[in-house]
Amino acid sequence: MLKRERRSDEGEDVRPETTKKDGRNDRDGMMKRHIPAMTTAALAASLCFTTTFAADWTPPAERADLDAKDKARVEKVTQPTDDFSKPEAFEIMQGGAATSTANVNRDSFSHSSANITFAEEETFKLGNALFRKFWVSSPSSTQASDGLGPLFNARSCQSCHLKDGRGHPPEGDSDATSMFLRLARVARTPEEQARIDNYETINFPDAVYGGQLQDFAVPGLSAEGRMTIDYREEDVTLGDGCTVSLRHPTYGVADLAYGPLGEDTTLSPRIANPMIGLGLVQAIEPADILGLADPDDADGDGVSGRPNIVSDTVTGEVKLGRFGWKAQNATIHDQSVGAMSGDIGVSSPHAPNPYGDCSEAEAACLAMPTGVQPRLGDTEAPDPVMELITFYAENLAVPARRDVDDVDVLRGKQVFYEAGCTACHNPKFVTSRNAENPAHRFQLIWPYSDFLLHDMGEGLADGQQVAMANGREWRTAPLWGNGLTEVVNDHSFFLHDGRARNRTEAILWHGGEAETARDNFANASQEDRDALIKFLESL
């Protein structure tokens, strides 16, 4: 039986004190590119991109929200365990007092934080309605929903984040709504590089197709094109002789409607990330994440990890990036605004262009009507639309762990630790006492991520620079909720492009800084590999 944790009226969690321990076009109009699709010089420049910080921003060396007593409590409770004979205290409550203890079913990722107020529940539900809202093309009699596109990838947030969960690649007759191609190129001139170095931009879009390939369009307009995927199977033999087949994808674009892509435009496939626990991630003190960074591998363990540093589009402040596949967004609001504009083509106060990702080269797109209604505001999604969607995204609860005391799960946890997985998948944090929402303050949480960038090897490289992230780097994906993917989303596709069809394949794709941990898993006994997978399924 799950027990609800005791908390104060402010939502503060008390557990830390009590816890003990070369692309070319063919005659069919199709372009195929092996990922990464960069010139040798561009890739070399990308890999030499180092972590520097703006002159007016100093990374915090330690947390400023805690007194000496609290610092000691936090340090104690976040120490990695060495006792795998039993669960750790409060381990079942992955999201602290905000954890959802509702019955496991397809709605497991769609519950609100358990400790928000009654009034906030109304705000959450309003945000949920807007998250599910289907936008329509202009002009429309439903003016409050007017403004889709003109070019777009989805009609609603929920279309990509189905049941608030994980996207998937198109399989069989399934569509590609929850997966798309990011388009970008590296800086071509010192002036452009200076814009990246000064946090003015994260990269440069394709001159014609913009920042992502949009495979839908409103009536009367042609979509930009469509993503193509070709898979090649390759057998990998494990240490005990067992064989696993991995599929190697090659991505391309077909039916390009507005001319060729730029010669140096890279294609980066992305599936939608799960939405749970985002507000708690936002509440982690930057010092705790930065304290895990080791860009020069000073400890010699082969794992470096470095932060992505970006600008907050609302305030202009330079901040730690922590959201998105390459940690390219500092806040949930930025992530939401970017998706509303890029994915759906709907403008909002901090992304006011009603034509979304349409470029100047797409004259037909710019000639289409927009959904701006002066009586409603200057944008298609005026205030408070984005504030409500952001609140909803901030308060989607992490489900409680299952089977934490199962002997195989405990053994799998030990294998996970001993293989070196926690070098990147850092188990736990205690959130800031100064978090904006009291429900997120001072919570012991278990995301299993350090939210840093890591070189994941050539096999997973996309060749695309995103702010400080180079073409081989990805943010460590949080693992909480991992075990409910099949329940919520009816599939088990993992990694940034869903190439892995199960957790074993996902682990075997790890390279670069994660190669040692990957090899430790590959060389483990079948019993230990199965136990580690069972541990992941309990998260």
Q: Domain extents for the chain?
A: 15-70+100-537
Q: What is the pLDDT of residues 244-264, one digit of tens each?
A: 999 999 999 999 999 999 999
Q: What is the pLDDT of residues 335-365, one digit of tens each?
A: 999 999 999 999 999 999 999 999 999 999 9
Q: What is the pLDDT of residues 302-313, one digit of tens each?
A: 999 999 999 999
User: CA 314 → CA 139, 211, 349, distances in Å?
Assistant: 29, 20, 10
**171: confidence class by pLDDT, cuts 50, 70, 90:** confident
Q: What is the pLDDT of residues 436-462, one digit of tens each?
A: 999 999 999 999 999 999 999 999 999
Mean pLDDT, residues 102-110: 98
**31: confidence class by pLDDT, cuts 50, 70, 90:** very low
- pLDDT score for 59: 74
- pLDDT score for 50: 41
Question: Using CA atoms, how far apart are residues 91 and 70, in angstroms rounded to an integer?
Answer: 20
Q: What is the pLDDT of residues 52-98, one digit of tens each?
A: 555 456 777 789 999 999 999 999 999 999 999 999 999 999 999 99
Tell me the pairing of strands 266-271 and 308-311. unpaired
- Calculate the average pLDDT of the chain: 90
User: CA 196 → CA 112, 193, 199, 373, distances in Å?
Assistant: 37, 5, 5, 35
Q: What is the pLDDT of residues 484-516, one digit of tens each?
A: 999 999 999 999 999 999 999 999 999 999 999
**142: confidence class by pLDDT, cuts 50, 70, 90:** confident
Q: Tell me what percent of the residues of the chain surpass a pLDDT of 70.
A: 89
- pLDDT score for 2: 34
- pLDDT score for 220: 96
- pLDDT score for 159: 94
CB distance 319 to 310 below 8 Å: yes
User: What is the SS3 assignment for 315?
Assistant: coil
What radius of gyration, in Å, describes the C-alpha atoms of the chain? 23
As a dihedral over the C-alpha atoms of residue 137, residue 143, residue 147, residue 153, rounded to 10 degrees, the angle is: -60
Show the tokens assigned to 325: 């596949």
**18: confidence class by pLDDT, cuts 50, 70, 90:** very low
Q: Tell me what percent of the residues of the chain surpass a pLDDT of 90.
A: 86
Question: Using CA atoms, how far apart are residues 306 and 312, in angstroms rounded to an integer?
Answer: 19
Mean pLDDT, residues 364-377: 94
